[in-house]
């Protein structure tokens, strides 16, 4: 039976979306003063995954009554499972301090319909470290269905209001928001509506048939990780017996804020992440335990 995370009492210095990490070593706490912005601390990682087993798993899930379950759900479920075991991946930097995020919040860009003229919007989905791929499938699809049925997201509502403000005043409002962000005082309703605040930003470029890009991290807000994955591609591979076998691969990229962890930590994260994707059957069962971040 999977254990759930403990709810901690909010202390001085904590934010509405995260708790201040007080026990980190001095070097880690000093790094945000040298690398002040996320673009100063961007690291890029790219990899490919052979997806024969993933395809088999997804066909089985779709036959069981989960139409449309695809690579997006596999990537997200793998990310959530890694966070359940390596919670430092869900840290963020704000105001030159490092925080552990209270929730796992995934931000996705959604096209309102598959046409060049259709607008796009963002959705933010709150997930739990104990969620299985089936849980994630239901939560993601519920939010996407709202958009496709014509319901505006919170992001759209806030953007429509702000864009009516004269640009000089709007520029000043953004300046004030950055100050509030620095001191951890940005209002909860704005954090909830903002596509720039969350655990990870994900873009599925395979749905439009192109390879993944290295997408920059936004300096505004506190998202520390951007995941992009592309379309399936076929590769002819020579086997030891001299035969040629066609295999399917998916390429993906991760752009991350290196201030939340060191190189050894990220090397472990990459290995865990790839292992969960390559063997997706384990994403159907909740983790045995959930590891919590340090104080």
Per-residue pLDDT, averaged over 179-190, amounts to 94
Asked whether the predicted pLDDT for residue 2 surpasses 50, the reply is no
What's the pLDDT score for residue 145? 85
What is the Cα–Cα distance from 125 to 243, expressed in whole angstroms? 45
| pLDDT above 50 for 1 | no
Q: Over 60: is that where the pLDDT of 33 sits?
A: yes
Domains and their CATH numbers in the chain: 40-283 (3.30.559.10)
pLDDT in the model for residue 109: 84
Predicted pLDDT of residue 152: 67
pLDDT at residue 37 tops 90: yes
* pLDDT value, residue 200: 97
Q: What secondary structure, in 3-state letters, does the chain show? A: CCCCCCCCCCCCCCCCCEEECCCCCHHHHHHHHHCCCHHHCEEEEEEEEECHHHHHHHHHHHHCCCCCCCHHHHHHHHHHHHHHHCHHHHEEEECCEEEEECCEEEEEEEECCCCCCCCEEEEEEEECCCCCHHHHHHHHHHHHHHHHCCCCCHHHHHHHHHHCCCHHHHHHHHHHHHHHHHCCCCCHHHHHHCCCCCCEEEEEHHHHCCCCCCCCCCCCCCCCEEEEEEEEEEEEEECCCCCEEEEEEEEEEEEEEHHHCCHHHHHHHHHHHHHHHHCHHHHHCCCCCCCCCCC
pLDDT at 21 over 50: yes
What's the rounded Cα separation, in Å, for the pair 148 and 82? 30
pLDDT, residue 126, reads 96
Mean pLDDT computed over 130-135: 98
Mean pLDDT of 176-199: 94
Torsion angle (degrees, nearest 10) of CA 189, 192, 198, 199? 120
Q: pLDDT per residue over 53-66, tens digit each?
A: 999 999 999 999 99
pTM: 0.92
Burial 161-188 (b: 16+ CB within 10 A, else e): eeeeeeeeeeeeeeeebeeebeebebee
pLDDT at 274: 96
User: What are the pLDDT digits (tens) for 68-127?
Assistant: 999 999 999 999 999 999 999 999 999 999 999 999 999 998 876 655 565 678 899 999
Query: Which pLDDT tens digit goes with each residue over 229-278?
Result: 999 999 998 888 889 999 999 999 999 999 999 999 999 999 999 999 99
**CA-wise closest residue to 14 among 156, 176, 185, 240:** 185
**pLDDT at residue 3 greater than cutoff 60:** no
What is the C-alpha to C-alpha distance for residues 41 and 263, in angstroms, rounded to an integer? 13
| Span 203-235, pLDDT tens digits | 999 888 899 999 999 999 999 999 999 999 999
């Amino acid at each position: 039976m999977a254990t759930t995370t403990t709810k901690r009492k909010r202390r001085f210095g904590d934010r509405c979306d995260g708790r201040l990490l007080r026990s980190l070593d001095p070097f880690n706490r000093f790094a945000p003063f040298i690398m002040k912005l996320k673009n100063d601390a961007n690291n890029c990682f790219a990899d490919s995954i052979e997806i024969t087993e993933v395809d088999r798993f997804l066909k089985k899930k779709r036959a069981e009554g989960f139409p449309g379950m695809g690579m997006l759900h596999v990537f997200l479920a793998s990310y959530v499972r890694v966070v359940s075991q390596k919670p430092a991946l869900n840290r963020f930097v704000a105001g030159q301090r490092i925080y552990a995020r209270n929730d796992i919040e995934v931000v996705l860009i959604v096209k309102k319909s598959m046409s060049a003229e259709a607008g796009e919007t963002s959705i933010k989905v709150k997930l739990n470290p104990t969620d299985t791929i089936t849980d994630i499938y239901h939560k993601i699809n519920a939010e996407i269905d709202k958009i496709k049925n014509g319901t505006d997201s919170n992001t759209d509502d806030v953007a429509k209001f702000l864009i009516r403000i004269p640009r000089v005043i709007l520029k000043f409002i953004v300046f004030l928001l950055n100050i509030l962000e620095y001191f951890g005082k940005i209002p909860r309703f704005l954090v909830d509506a903002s596509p720039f605040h969350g655990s990870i930003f994900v873009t599925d470029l395979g749905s439009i048939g192109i390879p993944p890009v290295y997408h920059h991290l936004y300096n505004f807000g506190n998202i520390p990780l951007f995941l992009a994955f592309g379309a399936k591609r076929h590769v002819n591979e020579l086997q030891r017996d001299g035969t040629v076998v066609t295999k399917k691969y998916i390429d993906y990229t991760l752009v991350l804020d290196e201030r939340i962890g060191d190189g050894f930590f990220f090397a472990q994260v990459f290995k865990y992440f790839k292992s969960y994707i390559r063997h997706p059957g384990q994403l159907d069962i909740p983790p045995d335990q959930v590891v919590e971040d340090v104080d």
